[in-house]
Chain A
């Protein structure tokens, strides 16, 4: 079945450091891939997405490239800020109804950025 695996956190960085949060997936079809962000006490917000192989999603300085050959969708940011501290979730959706009827989420990775 479909699944998403994220690196365990917390990831602790100093401000302006480079960020990578790894995400790999297993899917029987050709899924769309997403990164969501959750700030403390809030719901999830869609950060970026990619719908086909080699697509790059980007938003707010974050980027992720859909790599079908490595089944990965790693999240990167060149220079993190304290305000980026949050929990990040990788997710996939399989567009073929019947393969799975719902979004599949990873377990989340907490990012802590210190000044």
Chain B
């Protein structure tokens, strides 16, 4: 089945540690996105990628980094510079920018 897979579903880290969230898609989509969602809040765009080896900052990129070495994969690293990393992280992909997006099931990151 085609889709977007995020792993793990739950992640716990100690404060000050970097952590990488995985996102893989087999939909052959060019564009991929990372969003952050806080309780009771909407989605805020962290980074997006239009094509392999290219990515752009979204609205809240500080403290995060990404790579897009393969079309299928768009991992997100939450660095120790991110002041409030505890949140629900959603990965999405679309055929190209500005078309309907398909979302993964999310990763809930808790930093203690």
Q: How far is the CA of A34 from the CA of B4 in the complex (A)?
A: 19
Count chain B residues whose beta carbon lies closer than 8 angstroms to a beta carbon of A. 25
* Secondary structure dominating the interface of B: strand
Count chain A residues whose beta carbon lies closer than 8 angstroms to a beta carbon of B. 24
Q: Is the CB of B41 within 8 A of A94?
A: no
* Secondary structure dominating the interface of A: loop
Proximity string of chain A (83-115) to chain B, C-beta cutoff 8 Å, 1 when within and 0 when not: 000000100011111001111011110000000
Q: How far is the CA of A34 from the CA of B94 in the complex (A)?
A: 14
- A89: contacting residue among B42, B94, B100, B108, CB under 8 A: B42
Q: Is the CB of B98 within 8 A of A43?
A: no
Q: Is the CB of A93 within 8 A of B100?
A: yes
Asked if B56 lies at the interface with its beta carbon under 8 angstroms from chain A, I say yes
Binding site for A on B (CB under 8 A): 4, 6, 33, 41-43, 45, 48, 50, 56, 58, 90, 92, 94, 97-106, 108
> What are 30 residue pairs bridging A and B, where the CB atoms are less than 8 Å apart in the complex?
A32-B98, A32-B100, A34-B100, A36-B103, A41-B106, A42-B106, A43-B6, A43-B90, A43-B92, A43-B103, A44-B43, A45-B103, A46-B102, A49-B100, A93-B100, A95-B98, A95-B99, A97-B98, A101-B48, A101-B98, A102-B33, A102-B48, A102-B97, A102-B98, A103-B94, A103-B98, A105-B43, A107-B41, A107-B42, A108-B43
